[in-house]
A and B are shown apart, each in its own frame.
Chain A
């Protein structure tokens, strides 16, 4: 039985999982079963670390043809050409998006993975040129930039998907729609917690022979090569770790809790690195007002250890807790002793259980048997998929471009979520609690 809280779209996305128990999407259609019809011609704008990650998904998605790669760094363009040639993929390369739009007249979509402060100009230009756009999160390093992207999406009528890829992850979709909403597994959600901590690392460098000329760097808004290679740490270019890492997970707070916070209070600072502008440590608390009471969500991103428990989003209720992560091995479901029986959920393949050894209960409540300590049952989410982490979200985008389905994270939805992330950075800067009025996060 699907409850009213699940949209038809969500239901359709997860029905296959529920009926099969295990959702095993093959990474590649069997030979001879490639997507029918002409291929979508696409370009990749930005070939840094994230661009390379997205490329690996683009290379295995059927029905698309990557025809161009854009990057201001000659070193990146050369790498792309060589790498793709090795894979028998011929692409043209361009230094910037203006050259791309001038040179490629039969593009249908672009995937944008350049530095955050270029997202809005590139995305707006591509949308206005009649292209559909998949843009990495954060939408922009400024609220104004992000808002302009939503407005351009609306005025052009083109699709704009934002790269919060967990929104298309079959495990996340299944856990949200089947466990959290339909089965109400957690009972009342009283708190949420998420983190993504990182070990100390050297700043990105560059091979000395590959430095970009100063005038080229200036043309694209960078003061020097260090800033170009480490733009995520500089104000005016990126949004810092709360934006780079927290954006994914704070978005999950909003998505899974089904609402937006009324306030945020955060603390952080440039505590560790001497060459950065953005906070390297941050702790954030959001307050979500719901009819049954307040739910608080805590988020942290720290410059600390790589052994700090990994990256996850943890939703804690009075009957169960669900710990989610892109890494299935970090995911788990924990049952409270007061929760009703989950046997029916297990039999319907909503949960995978490693059952506890049966402890015989005497008929007479006055009797008790004493033996070895009974173990608790362990539960897991019975969904896996044979795809790269970003692949389902990109596929959702390309399917929507073909008119098959709707976007899982359109720009207006992403804006609502990202707005409250900007407010966390604002709280740190001001040292004050920031109130967020209902509707304030609408584009």
Chain B
């Protein structure tokens, strides 16, 4: 029995699927996870006036703000992903449309302080916040001891735990509903970005121009925040660039759709993290660690 619960947060629908649990316990666990998503939205949403992100946007150059722990960690991870993707994932990509130069900021994680160095810090966590929320929800779920779970944020990021009993993974399609071929996923995250819903809305932070290399891209990682950010970067990066940033990152995988069907990139043939496996395969290929 798989219990499915839905909740509105971060301008989309979050879904918690729990397998093998008693119904009331599953509902209460789902509520605890949704409360965590709401709490995070309160800190991370640029649409909530009392959020940290809104407060950051009001900082003048030279001003400092002490952040909530979650905000600080999310921003630190965002900066890390910006470096790892050679600037193709950036939470200030949209700010390039309203400011001549990218805003500058420094973060002191030890003190949880952010300082506005230049410009207006108009952060948009839309390409990492939902994944970050899934990671935090999984941490909360660990207390509830529900090992078989699938967490979904808006259909674009999923984070899987153990699969339901009797199957090797959660059945995943890359693309439209029930798209073939299906893949098994366990203990890992998959995120997708594309142009089907919002058109060419993803901007290349390096140029400020919309990314038009491909229609869709997916990323896998043990962390949903990381896969969320990577899938956006993979819409911007060329294939050689993707291969370059993934080199030595065996926990990351890329899937691209630029000719009507998806294919997996294989940067060096080292797929140690095989969270996705074709449904036709038997046995446990999936592995990896949750954040």
CB pair A60–B110 under 8 Å, yes or no, is: no
In the complex, are the beta carbons of B68 and A326 less than 8 A apart? no
Mask, B60-90, CB within 8 Å of A = 1, is 0011111011000000000000000000000
Cβ-based interface call for B28 (8 A): yes
Residues of B close to A206: CB separation below 8 A: 28
Is B63 in contact with A26, judged by CB distance below 8 angstroms? yes
* Closest-CB distance, B260 to chain A (whole angstroms): 38
Among the stretches A173-181, A197-205, A424-432, the one at the interface with B is A197-205
Main secondary structure of the interface of B (DSSP, over half): mixed
In the complex, the chain B residue whose C-beta lies closest to that of A59 is: B66
Q: Is the CB–CB distance between B25 and A208 below 8 Å?
A: yes
Q: Are B112 and A205 in contact (CB under 8 A)?
A: no
Q: Is B143 an interface residue (CB 8 A)?
A: yes
Tell me the smallest distance from the CB of A74 to a CB of chain B, in Å: 12
- Contact A388 to B64, CB < 8 A, known contacts A83-B69, A205-B31: no
Instruction: Kindly identify, within residues 26 to 78 of chain A, every residue whose CB is under 8 Å from any CB belonging to chain B.
Output: 26-28, 30-31, 49, 56, 59-60, 75
Report the minimal beta-carbon distance from B50 to chain A, rounded to whole angstroms. Answer: 5
Q: A88-B110, A201-B31, A202-B28 are in contact. Are A389 and B65 (CB under 8 A)?
A: no
> Shortest Cβ distance from B123 into chain A, in angstroms?
15
Interface membership of A151, Cβ < 8 A: no
Contact A327 B113 (CB under 8 A): no
Interchain CB contact under 8 A, A205 and B66? no
B84 to chain A, nearest CB (A): 24
> Chain B residues with Cβ under 8 A from A389's Cβ?
50
Contact B64 A205 (CB under 8 A): no
Interface flag for B176 (CB, 8 Å): no
Known: A28-B64, A30-B64, A202-B30. A327 touches B49 (CB 8 A): yes
Q: How far is the CB of B170 from chain A (nearest CB, A)?
A: 23
Known contacts A59-B66, A86-B69, A306-B8; decide if A205 and B28 are in contact (CB<8 Å): yes
C-alpha gap A49/B58 in the complex (Å) = 28
Q: Are B31 and A204 in contact (CB under 8 A)?
A: yes
Is B27 an interface residue, CB under 8 A from the partner?
Answer: yes
The reply to whether A328 and B49 form a contact with Cβ atoms under 8 Å apart is yes
- Would you call A24 and B58 a contact (CB within 8 A)? yes
Which residues of chain B have C-beta atoms less than 8 A from A87's C-beta? 69, 112
How long is the Cα–Cα vector from A24 to B63 in the complex, in angstroms?
12
> Is A439 at the interface (CB under 8 A from chain B)?
no
User: Chain B residue with minimal CB distance to A26?
Assistant: B63
Per-residue interface assignment for chain B, residues 32 to 61, with 1 indicating a CB less than 8 Å from any chain A CB and 0 otherwise: 101100000000000111100001001100
| Contact, CB under 8 Å: B69 / A384 | no
Residue B29, interface by CB 8 Å: yes
**Chain A's nearest CB lies how many Å from the CB of B146?**
9
**Residues A205 and B29 in contact, CB atoms below 8 Å apart:** yes
Q: What residues of chain A lie closer than 8 Å to B59, measured between beta carbons? A: 26, 386
B98 to chain A minimum Cβ distance, whole angstroms, is 19
Query: Are B25 and A205 in contact (CB-based, < 8 A)?
Result: yes
Docked CA distance A328–B25 (Å): 37
Residues of chain B within 8 A of A59, CB atoms compared: 66
| Chain A residues whose CB sits within 8 angstroms of the CB of B47 once the complex forms | 329
A204 / chain B contacts, CB cutoff of 8 Å: 28, 31-32
Question: Which of A201, A209, A306, A386 sits near B55, CB closer than 8 Å?
Answer: A386
A336 in the interface (beta carbon within 8 A): no
- Minimum CB–CB distance from A248 to chain B (whole Å) comes to 15
A217 to chain B, nearest CB (A): 17
Q: Which of B27, B30, B65 contacts A28 (CB 8 A)?
A: B65
Task: Decide if B65 touches A26 in the complex (CB within 8 Å).
Answer: yes
With A26-B63, A27-B65, A31-B64 known as contacts, the answer to whether A329 contacts B31 (CB < 8 A) is: no
User: How many Å from the CB of B161 to the closest CB on chain A?
Assistant: 15
Give the chain B neighbours of A75 by CB distance below 8 A: 143
Closest partner residue, chain A, to B70 (CB atom) = A56
Please name all residues of chain A whose beta carbon is closer than 8 Å to the beta carbon of B145 when the two chains form the complex: 207-209
A210 within 8 A of B: yes
CB distance from A219 to the nearest CB of B (A): 24
In the complex, the answer to whether B110 meets A31 with C-beta atoms within 8 Å is no
Residues of A within 8 A of B179 (CB): none
* In the bound complex, CA of A30 to CA of B29 (Å): 41
Binary CB contact string for chain B from 141 to 155 against chain A (1 if under 8 A, 0 otherwise): 001110000000000
B282 at the interface (CB under 8 A from A): no
- Are A56 and B64 in contact, with the CB atoms below 8 A? no
Residue B24 at the A interface, CB < 8 A?
A: yes
Contacts A202-B30, A326-B50, A384-B49 given; does A207 touch B65 at CB 8 Å: no
- Complex-state Cα separation, A327 to B69, whole angstroms: 22
Q: B31 contacts A202, CB within 8 Å?
A: yes
Smallest beta-carbon distance B99→chain A, Å:
20
Q: Which residues of B contact A88 (CB under 8 A)?
A: 110
- List A residues 311-336 near B (Cβ within 8 Å): 326-329
Give CA–CA (A202, B18) in the complex, Å.
Answer: 15
Interface string of B260-276 (1 = CB under 8 A from A): 00000000000000000
A-B contact pairs, 11 of them (CB 8 A): A27-B55, A28-B65, A28-B113, A60-B66, A201-B34, A203-B31, A205-B28, A206-B28, A207-B29, A329-B49, A384-B58
Given contact pairs A75-B143, A83-B69, A328-B49, a sample of 6 additional A-B residue pairs in the complex whose CB atoms are under 8 Å apart: A26-B65, A28-B64, A28-B66, A59-B66, A202-B27, A205-B31
Residue positions of A touching B, CB distance < 8 A: 24, 26-28, 30-31, 49, 56, 59-60, 75, 83, 86-88, 201-210, 306, 326-329, 384, 386-389
5 nearest interchain CB pairs?
A205-B28, A28-B66, A202-B27, A202-B31, A328-B49
